[in-house]
Amino acid sequence: MSEEIAVVAGDGIGREVVPPAVDVLDALDRGFEFVEADAGDAVLEATGDPLPEETYDLVASADATLFGSVGESAADVILPLREAVDSFVNVRPAKAYPGVDALRPETDLVFLRENSEGVYKGIESKLTADVSTLTRVVTTSASERLAEYACDYAPEGFTVAHKANVMRETDGRFLDAVEGVADERGVETERALMDALAMHLCLRPEEYDVVVCPNLAGDVLSDLAAGLVGGLGLLPSANVGPERGVFEPVHGTAPDIAGEGVANPCAAILSAAMLLDFLGYGADADRVRDAVEAVLEDGPRTPDLGGDAGTDDVAAAVLDEL
């Protein structure tokens, strides 16, 4: 049966790195059917809406979505799309790739970020002329769903980030739920206060492996880890739901180089590999990752990695390695 893949390239270099990722998926001959749709600043300017209903509906019904990057309107696009696929976990690997100048080359982390609640619920009020509030929401059900995923992903154990010394009830609930599931499943966990963890990741990243986080903690700590491995340039991510997912490079639209054909397509291609994993094509996913690593090791390089190759050169080299 042929799967339908929604393709939402977005703005800026999203438009340049997504086509090579589609080519890679296509080259695997799995009979994927690709359907393109628009989102982002350009559509916002043209139509007044950064996320057309057709795009939302497509992502909500496709088997998986390959997403590029969106500019100013990013939050108005990616947050609804996470919801469209009922995404309960954002998977963010951060490892130092060969040939990249990393602050901590020994970093090899995966963040499993809660992707549906916390401070991201959009519940804010202007109470008085002086006071605004935001309601942070933590549920046992969402925390347990995340924990089940984490136990499957990391049966050898994981770290749980939190700030339960201050957010006692909400992060307390998060800890109880995650640890409860892990206990039942016989998976070991250790707690880490998110502030102390930010320091320890800088000092000793090799002591951590899989880190399960509340939503905002995951947002910040995964970006920190990107800093340890040399930047967002090569990092993929997966917004995973029970039946669908949205797969996106962690980098943004890179307005400074957009349109020049020199954007590095590796993060988008690695995101396509996460999509393959999600659809059950694990062997294909590994082939894609191996091809990207081989090219990073001694293939053509885009300027972000000190080379002078273009997006197409790198894309062609990856296809070649496949």
The residues that touch a copy of itself, with contacts defined as CB under 8 A, are: 74-75, 79, 103-104, 119-120, 124-126, 129-141, 163, 165-170, 172-173, 194-196, 198-203, 216, 219-224, 226-228, 230-232
Asked if 290 and 47 touch (Cβ cutoff 8 Å), the reply is: no
Helix (H) or strand (E) holding 162: strand 158-162
Catalytic machinery residues: 120, 163, 195, 219, 223
Asked if 67 and 85 touch (Cβ cutoff 8 Å), the reply is: no
| Residue 222: closest CA among 190, 250, 249 | 250
> Of the candidates 165, 242, 286, 290, which one interacts with ligand IPM according to CB under 6 A?
165
Of 138 and 317, CB closest to ligand IPM:
138
Query: Which token pair is 253?
Result: 């639209």
195 binds ligand IPM (CB under 6 A): yes
166 binds ligand IPM (CB under 6 A): yes
144 binds ligand IPM (CB under 6 A): no
What is d(CA 65, CA 262) in angstroms, rounded to the nearest whole number? 24
78 binds ligand IPM (CB under 6 A): yes
134 binds ligand IPM (CB under 6 A): no
Three-point CA angle 271, 272, 278, nearest 5°: 95
- Label the pairing between strands 158-162 and 210-213: parallel
Tell me the closest approach of the beta carbon of residue 219 to a copy of itself, in angstroms.
5
74 binds ligand IPM (CB under 6 A): yes
> Of the candidates 33, 45, 61, 75, which one interacts with ligand IPM according to CB under 6 A?
75
- Label the pairing between strands 64-69 and 4-10: parallel
